[in-house]
Amino acid sequence: MFKKIVLVATVLALCVVVLGAYVRLSDAGLGCPDWPGCYGHITVPHTSDAVTAFPDKPLETHKAWKEMAHRYFAGTLGLLILAVFVTAWRNRRVASPALPSALLILVIFQAALGMWTVTLLLKPVIVSLHLIGGMTTLGLLTWLASRRLATVSHPAIRPWALLALLVLACQIILGGWTSTNYAALACPDFPACQGMLLPPTDFANAFHLVRELGVNADGSQLSLASLTAIHLMHRLGALITFLYLGWFGSKLLKIPGLSFLGKVLLTALLAQVALGISNVVFSLPLAVAVGHNAGAAILLMVLVVINSNLTPKDK
């Protein structure tokens, strides 16, 4: 039962991450101006009810339903993680309750971040933390789900596998910051940026965390140079990630028991690079942008499974 709940929760966590990206990229993050309901209701209300509850916030039904669908999925995931927590504590010989306990704490914090995302009007640092929290939840659930797989004894590769996971995590953070600041099209061309190799950049304001969406810390408009700096850092991170994960995946191809995961990693990596370039070349189509977020989640899951396979089960 524990394994089944964890597997269902892992699949649902992937769906929540992808659905969250869809909501954000379709500009529906504020489809409901309150939390956890929508215009004071547990579902999307009629227009007249919405006007009564929030007269200064016009109801856009299609955006509201996207936001509420994400909340329903996230709420169901929270209940499944609670079930994982309870099952682990009741059957401690089957699974240690340490990780399920951490997951429960994380999902409670995620709920708070979801609320602050709305109440603080898509503040970049809050939205980025919400994305990172979602990916972390997915990674921990994947780890739990993969712990019963056979272990491959190859201690020499374990540090490189952990570094691969760390490199990807840093790139996901850069990608989240790019997305939440709407900097994906600051460079509308590829491989150049604005027709130059080194366009004007403003790193000082680009990575200032305590500010509102679209403005600097002093309240002035966030410049194109700042958005360009964010975008270029994501590109640099993508290059480093591609080179390192490509090298790491090629090493896995030579290791019995890990060659299949190496193929999966390299395939997912190439698809992710293609989606990233397509985002720029085709001006951020919604399907491609959501696919790029899904690709990052899949890469994370693959690397977690690889690290799990390389970690002795008694540790």
Task: Enumerate the active-site residues.
Answer: 67
- Tell me how crowded residue 205 is: count the other CB atoms within 10 A of its CB: 19
Distances, alpha carbon 313 to alpha carbons 74, 98, 146, 261, in Å: 30, 15, 11, 19
**Cis status of the peptide bond prior to 97, with omega within 30 of 0:** no
3-state secondary structure of 116: helix
Buried-state track 103-117, b at ≥16 Cβ within 10 A, e below 16:
bbebbeebbebbebb
Closest by CA position to 122, among listed 35, 206, 230, 202? 35
Q: Residue ranges of the alpha helices (H) in 147-255? A: 158-180, 203-206, 224-252
φ and ψ of 147, to 5 deg: -70, -20
CA–CA dist 258, 249 (Å, integer): 9
